[in-house]
Structure 1
Amino acid sequence: MYYYLFTIQYDGTDFCGWAKQKGQKTIQGELEKSIFRVARNSSFRIVGASKTDSGVHAEDQKAWVELNFKPNKIGFLNALNRSLPLGIKVIEMQEIEQSFRVRNCKQKTYEYKINLGEDNVFENRFLFYPKQKLDINKLKESLNLFIGEHDFYNFSGLKEDEKELIETKRNIDYIETTLDNNIFIITFKAKGFIRYQIRMIVGACIAYSSNKISLEQIKAVLKQKEGKLPFIANPEGLILKKINY
């Protein structure tokens, strides 16, 4: 068998996330279909580094790929990309050892982008457009609460019965904000994130910045003194920017 690390970019708008699901159009599913079309009699396995949500984008998704043949990398990559649907591209393919653990990364970087200016039809698949005016200072203030180690169960899409299976105590190494031409960018860095974690954090902070909830409510929820908040930011603003090993 032969082993490769794929670097994949995608516009997640038209897909139901990374992970293959029966009856749904997903990034992993489309990639598997394309490998089958290019190498019809082959057998293969694919393991993604990050299970991005439906509608979320990636600039640097990684996937561990096992093939039962050794391809001509340039020709195989070109054929694969011609076969993939619009919005997905494999930009790199490098040989690795079988033992390489694609999910055991040092750090993942995500960005969430909020448009504070005019609607732009050529960008709105990749930006969140708030319906109300946001207080940027309050947004920054609330985001700072999430830096460091916390139990993020209340800021995840996990159900009660999943708490035993998935570690909810996580450490966010870094949250930074920048403003560039009316685009407010929130950068998150951590070894890993739970399902919907970033979107639920951003949703709560947006709610606080638009005076829907108090800072004390967010603190209480984060400390497990209250239940989950009913806020989750739209997926289109979120992009997986980088995975470091």
Structure 2
Amino acid sequence: MNYYLFTIQYDGTDFCGWAKQTKQRTIQGEVETAISQVTRNAQFRVVGASKTDAGVHAVDQKAWVELEFSPNLPGFLNGLNSALPVGIKITKIEPIKPEFRVRNCQQKTYHYQINLDTPNVFENRYYLQPKFKFDQNKLNEALQLFVGTHDFFNFSGLKEFELAAINSIRIIDSIRLKEEQKKLIIEFKAKGFIRYQIRMIVGAALAYAAGKTSLNKIIATLKRTHEKLPFLANPEGLTLFAIEY
């Protein structure tokens, strides 16, 4: 067998996330369909580094691919991109060792982007377009509560029965807020994230910054002395920006 690391970019708007699902268009499903078309029924396997949610984008998704043959990489890359639908592009294919583990990365970087300018139809797919005013200082104040080691169960899409298999205690290395050309970017860095974690954090922080909840309630929710909050930021603002090994 031969092993390769794919770097993939995608606009997640028209897809139901990364992971392959029955009767749903997903990024993994489209990549596997393209490989099937190009390799003509050769055996292969695809494992993604990050299971992005429906509507979430990626600049630097990684995928481990096992192939039973060794392709001509430039021709293989061109063939796959010709077979992929609009919105998905493989930017790089590189050989890797059999023992490489695509999910064992050093750090992932996600960007959550908010448009502070007049809504633009050519950007609506990639930014949250807030319909309310909020205080950026309060937004940052709330976001910093989540830096470090915490039990993020209440800021995730996990159910109680999933805790036997998924650890909800995670470490967020940093959360930075920066403004560029009337676009607010919230940068998250961590080894890994749980389903909906970033969107629920952003949703709660924005709610506090807009006067819709209190800081004490967010703290209590993080400590699991309060039930989950009803805030979930829209998926279009979230992009997997980088994965480092």
What TM bracket, shorter-length normalisation? over 0.9
How many angstroms does 1:116 deviate by? 1.2
State the match for 1:30 in structure 2.
30
| Count of aligned residue pairs for this structure pair | 245
State the match for 1:222 in structure 2.
222
Question: What is the aligned-residue identity percentage?
Answer: 64
Structure 2 SS opposite 1:29: helix
What are the residue-to-residue correspondences of 1:1-245 with 2, within 5 Å? 1-245=1-245
Structure 2 SS opposite 1:163: helix
Structure 1 SS opposite 2:175: strand
How many angstroms does 1:176 deviate by? 0.4
Q: What is the alpha-carbon distance in structure 1 between the residues aligned to residue 240 and residue 150 of structure 2? A: 22
Structure 2 SS opposite 1:5: strand
Which runs of 4 or more aligned residues in structure 1 lie more than 2 Å from their structure 2 counterparts after TM superposition? none
Structure 2 SS opposite 1:143: helix
Q: TM-score, normalised by structure 2?
A: 0.99
Q: What is the alpha-carbon distance in structure 1 between the residues aligned to residue 198 and residue 48 of structure 2? A: 19
Q: Give deviations 1:130-164, integer Å, cap 9, x for gaps.
A: 11111111101100100000000000000110011
Q: What is the alpha-carbon distance in structure 2 between the residues aligned to residue 85 and residue 180 of structure 1? A: 31
Structure 2 SS opposite 1:200: helix
Name the amino acid aligned to 2:21.
Answer: Q
Q: What is the alpha-carbon distance in structure 1 between the residues aligned to residue 92 and residue 219 of structure 2? A: 42
Q: Give deviations 1:169-217, integer Å, cap 9, x for gaps.
A: 0000011000112111000000000000000000000111111100000
Q: What is the alpha-carbon distance in structure 1 between the residues aligned to residue 79 and residue 140 of structure 2? A: 45
Name the amino acid aligned to 2:95.
Answer: E
Structure 1 SS opposite 2:105: coil
Gaps of 5+ in 1: none
Pairwise CA RMSD of aligned residues? 0.5
Q: What is the alpha-carbon distance in structure 1 between the residues aligned to residue 116 and residue 134 of structure 2? A: 8
Name the amino acid aligned to 2:166.
Answer: I
Q: What is the alpha-carbon distance in structure 2 between the residues aligned to residue 75 and residue 181 of structure 1? A: 39
How many angstroms does 1:117 deviate by? 1.1
Q: What is the alpha-carbon distance in structure 2 between the residues aligned to residue 180 and residue 28 of structure 1? A: 32
Q: Give deviations 1:73-99, integer Å, cap 9, x for gaps.
A: 000100000000000000000001111
Structure 1 SS opposite 2:164: coil
How many angstroms does 1:41 deviate by? 2.4
Q: What is the alpha-carbon distance in structure 2 between the residues aligned to residue 226 and residue 111 of structure 1? A: 28
Q: Give deviations 1:25-77, integer Å, cap 9, x for gaps.
A: 00000000000011112010000000000000000000000001110000010
Name the amino acid aligned to 1:243.
Answer: I
Gaps of 5+ in 2: none
Q: TM-score, normalised by structure 1?
A: 0.99
